[in-house]
Chain A
Amino acid sequence: MNYNDTIIALATPSGAGAIAVIRLSGKDAIRLASESFKSVRGKALQDQVTHTIHLGHILDDTRVIDEVLVSIFKNPKSYTGEDVIEISCHGSQYIQQEIIQLFLRKGCRMADAGEFTLRAFLNGKLDLSQAEAVADLISSDNEASHQIAMQQMRGGFSSEIAKLREELLNFASLIELELDFAEEDVAFADRTQFRELITRITFVLKRLIDSFAVGNVIKNGIPVAIVGEPNVGKSTLLNALLNEERAIVSDIAGTTRDTIEDELSIGGIGFRFIDTAGIRDTTDVVEGLGIKKTFEKIEQSQVVVFLFDGTELHTEAAIKACRIEIEKVKNKYPLKPMVIIVNKVDKLSEDTIALLQSVIPDVHLLSAKSGLGVESLKTKLLDFVNTGALRNNETIVTNTRHYDALLKAFEEIQKVQHGLDTELSSDLMAIDIREALYHFGVITGQVTNDELLGNIFANFCIGK
């Protein structure tokens, strides 16, 4: 691998936009940029101080490609720790490509996936946890996951573990001391204090492990299954939820023809709405397959939303049929949070509403059209998510590798606890302590292990 050359890549998303940023990093970045840049004020780039911005033109020989702003970051005070040039050009794909092609001809190399961040890591600008957080930050598309990634990038989470690790290490040392000097008159490691530490570590580990569930859904969006017939007004509902917030909408084709996922942000939390077919009893083979699929989707979801068209529920029999359907799911997943929505209530008589409320007591009445019940639905959805940790600005674990290490550390700490309870010989307990320390180290980067690195850099499709 060669890190002596200068790399280039588009730093903003590909495609057309108002502006685009092209980034160069490496020892020749400033020289190469200055060769193709003509400042409006006639300044030579290589003579400029770091962290300055300059207006001018990118020239291919004598041909002007674009009017641009060039930012200079000199090593080591740059993202990668190398000399970095950022060219803000106009956002057309043609211009972007022309500029990149120009620098490739001049001797730059197209950056590999994640190479800017890799270089930042190699130059000691980021530790492993931070580098991973960059990946999360770039892919985060809602407020909450952004917040977590930022927190992790600032080192908040690994420093908490590092502190515990150090305390544990101190105790491990005391235990080693009494083992190696068993014949001598040494003070023994205070078992009461040690128990206290183990309890504290257990508490923190538990909290972090639990936070993973929260963190993970925040990062990926909370999956919500919408159960309802095709014509009950799902898109109207989603649009109603959407109208209130400026949210991201991305249509991701589901794994099957009949599941569509809509992702939107409510109160800063990402929700992934998964459309499913209903689960009405049927003898039709195709629909039967659909029901099986629906249950699979419900299984994968954190929240189930039943959606019924109120205008179809005039008779008690129809309402009871709904209830049977709901109970089928309730019986199968008694712990799954559920919202039962009857839409189009603006078109219902008061009697029908009263009937609905008596047969299905926890019904949520909604009119997507008038906006009735939309706000309270949002509150309901948010309440299902344990966002306590988020609101308190506590640490949340989102990284699978960290989660895995925390679980393993937790397991070892429980063994230490058991060892303390059964008065296990301290040399054997030391093995469990060392293991726990090892797993802590996986998080803080205080162990080195080739697999660890392999894993991280394999997921390094970031920073470009």
Chain B
Amino acid sequence: MFDKVYDVIVVGAGHAGSEAAASAANMGSSTLLITMNLQNIAQMSCNPAMGGIAKGQIVREIDALGGYSGIVSDTSAIQFKMLNKSKGPAMWSPRVQSDRMRFAEDWRLMLEQTPNLDFYQDMVSGLIIEDNKIAGVKTSLGISVRAKSVVLTNGTFLNGLIHIGDKNFGGGRAGERAATGITEQLVDLGFQSGRMKTGTPPRVDGRSLDYSKMIEQPGDISPEKFSYSDVTKPLTKQRSCHMTYTSNLVHDLLREGFDRSPMFNGRIKSLGPRYCPSIEDKINRFADKDRHQLFIEPEGWNTCEVYVNGFSTSLPEDVQFKALRSVVGFENVKFFRPGYAIEYDYFPPTQLKHTLETKLVDGLYFAGQINGTTGYEEAASQGLMAGINASLKVQERDEFILKRNEAYIGVLIDDLITKGTEEPYRMFTSRAEYRTLLRQDNADFRLTPKGFEIGLASEKRLRRMEEKQNKAVEFVQFFKDLSVKPDVINPILEAKESAVVNQSGKLFKVFARPNIEMDDVRKIEEVEHYISEHNLDREIIEQTEIQVKYAGYIEKEKNNADKLTRLEDIKIPANYDYSQIKSMSFEAREKLKKIQPTSISQASRISGVSPNDISVLLVYMGR
């Protein structure tokens, strides 16, 4: 059935697989997307939302590079919020609530419209490997498909085991089969594998809830959007979420089921994410807290299904039900399906290169939960990068690596391959050393030129970005040039309780004061005139404000980032023999040997490698 040798085969069609397939195909590689169920492309297996703190920045980065996640998040959004708006601009984080069904549908339609992309439904049960080089895949129906590169994005499906109370059964997701064969083959090849755990809360019937007893959480009054392109528009109407709390009574009812909890009776041995704990974990670890927040999220525009965020659990379904019925507003709740925990195989990501290609098998790439990450955004961005690099390799072009000071995606991949991860890895802004540079408002400045250069972002995107950039630069210059008289500016300053000025001065200086905002300076006629004359939109105005108000901090972070770059430039030769450096701790030598860092900077981030070890290494590198 398949005589053709594909450039890229993508196994799995979740967030990672879909982005991988889209980027590879858009870069001109003949691509095949194989998934166990073509009806389930880009499923949101957990909560119906995209973005959030640090994650929203990643979606913006994917979009800036020419990926699809931003566009689909916009078209399927039912609510938009810019989180953390009270903090500095590095913390502003876009998030949408999504229509789960529309999200998957829009993804599938976008993939169908992508050139060079074929689809096939089957389970991949093995890889064809010749001389440590990938050559294709074998399916459960016995079909072989040949390819120059393969991207594995198996999510939670590899030997997936679902737990609800004392019941457990094989499955990749509620109602779907697990995938077998691949882990065993990779382990035979010398790969290390491990088990991870994640969980999800019950889905309930929204018609059975009493929202009047909960706190409404509406979207932003003037919603924005993810995609930098003009193919999507901000929402004009939105749906609200709601918030309620658990109580001591709820906790007591949950505790009654602890003896049947796979978490506590030892049936689940693998580690789940600490920062996304199950409700039983929360009440167990924070026993002094008498209530926990629950976020009630609609699953779409029209469906009555509702997601109970914060109530992730693998307790028996009767315990879940009884406890949830005691939550305010949930007195008459009807379940759609109970929450569950799932254990699955992953491959410690230290076995990968910066391109996400495995060190052991040439042309084989891993992306998403198979690398021990959690989250749609983390998965999608890895898929994008794996798809790009698989394509580049097939086309014999230079690899595409983002640095830690260029993108959260760069931080994510560098962390994974350098430090590995013991629990499902989620992105935080604090993982980035230079988050003031990695803002959601400038992902296009940072990445669209790169996306264009590798042939993924369109020229139209690039031009749009350049126009925004130029207009912002000119507007900043306008503030630097415009002189204002005391009688014009002082009333504005007085209103803000800011010190008045005695003589005329540049508006830039006043605008740079901490509590003076764009809305204040817009009271000056010339500013308002400039905006309307140059037809500046909200994005450009906001960009300008950030560049004026945070110039000092941005500059400082840039200087700091340069320090990092210098260590980044001291390269360590491939296959460097660390055993000759006796002065290093044994642990450090072992770790360095295993990770094979490419630069001193990367070496310094490996856990177990002390600054002293790095100093020693620097001496050996001739510094």
B-contacting residues of A (Cβ < 8 Å)? Answer: 1, 3, 81, 118, 121-124, 127-128, 173, 176-177, 179-185, 422, 424-428, 431, 434-435, 438, 441, 445-450, 453-454, 457
Contact = CB atoms under 8 A, between A and B. Distances in A.
B140 interface: no
24 contacts: A3-B583, A122-B583, A123-B583, A124-B612, A179-B91, A179-B430, A180-B430, A182-B83, A183-B83, A422-B514, A427-B87, A427-B435, A427-B436, A428-B550, A446-B611, A448-B567, A448-B604, A448-B614, A449-B563, A449-B567, A450-B566, A450-B570, A453-B618, A457-B619
A448 B611 contact: yes
Given A453-B618, A454-B623, A445 B90 contact: no
A179 B87 contact: yes
Given A427-B435, A428-B88, A448-B614, A181 B604 contact: no
Interface in B266-292: 275, 292
A265 B516 CA distance: 60
Nearest to A183: B83
A425 B90 CA distance: 10
B557 interface: yes
A318 B486 CA distance: 64
Interface in B584-623: 585, 600, 604, 611-612, 614-616, 618-620, 622-623
Contacts of A173: 430
B87 A1 contact: no
B567 A450 contact: yes
Contact of A127 (B52, B430, B612, B619): B612
B293 interface: yes
A118 B618 CA distance: 13
Contacts of B563: 449
Contacts of A449: 563, 567
Interface of B: 52-54, 83-84, 86-88, 90-91, 275, 292-293, 428-430, 433, 435-436, 514, 550, 553, 556-557, 560, 563, 566-567, 570, 582-583, 585, 600, 604, 611-612, 614-616, 618-620, 622-623
Nearest to A450: B623
Contacts of A3: 583
B461 to A, nearest CB: 28
A1 B620 contact: yes
A427 B91 contact: yes
Nearest to B623: A450
Contacts of B428: 176, 180
> 8 tightest CB-CB pairs across the interface, nearest first?
A176-B430, A448-B614, A122-B583, A180-B428, A425-B88, A427-B88, A425-B87, A123-B583
A427 B83 contact: no
A183 B53 contact: yes
A431 B583 contact: no
A428 B615 contact: no
B522 to A, nearest CB: 22
Interface hub of A185, A428, A434 (most chain B Cβ within 10 A): A428
A180 to B, nearest CB: 4
B83 to A, nearest CB: 6
Contacts of A184: 293
Contacts of B616: 122
Given A127-B612, A445-B611, A1 B619 contact: yes
Nearest to B86: A425
Given A427-B436, A431-B556, 7 more contacts: A1-B619, A124-B583, A179-B430, A425-B88, A427-B87, A428-B553, A450-B623
A189 B172 CA distance: 40
Nearest to A452: B615
A173 B86 CA distance: 20
B190 to A, nearest CB: 32
Contacts of B582: 123
Contacts of B292: 185
Nearest to A3: B583
A176 B90 CA distance: 12
Given A185-B292, A448-B567, A424 B514 contact: yes
Contacts of B436: 427-428, 431
Interface hub of B52, B54, B550, B583 (most chain A Cβ within 10 A): B583
Interface hub of A176, A427, A446 (most chain B Cβ within 10 A): A427
Contact of A182 (B87, B293, B556, B600): B87
Contacts of B615: 121, 128, 445, 448, 453
A454 B600 CA distance: 15
B514 A182 contact: no
Nearest to B582: A123
B136 to A, nearest CB: 42
B440 to A, nearest CB: 13
A447 B611 contact: yes
B622 A1 contact: yes
Contacts of B585: 124
A92 to B, nearest CB: 36
A431 B619 contact: no
B613 to A, nearest CB: 9
Nearest to A180: B428
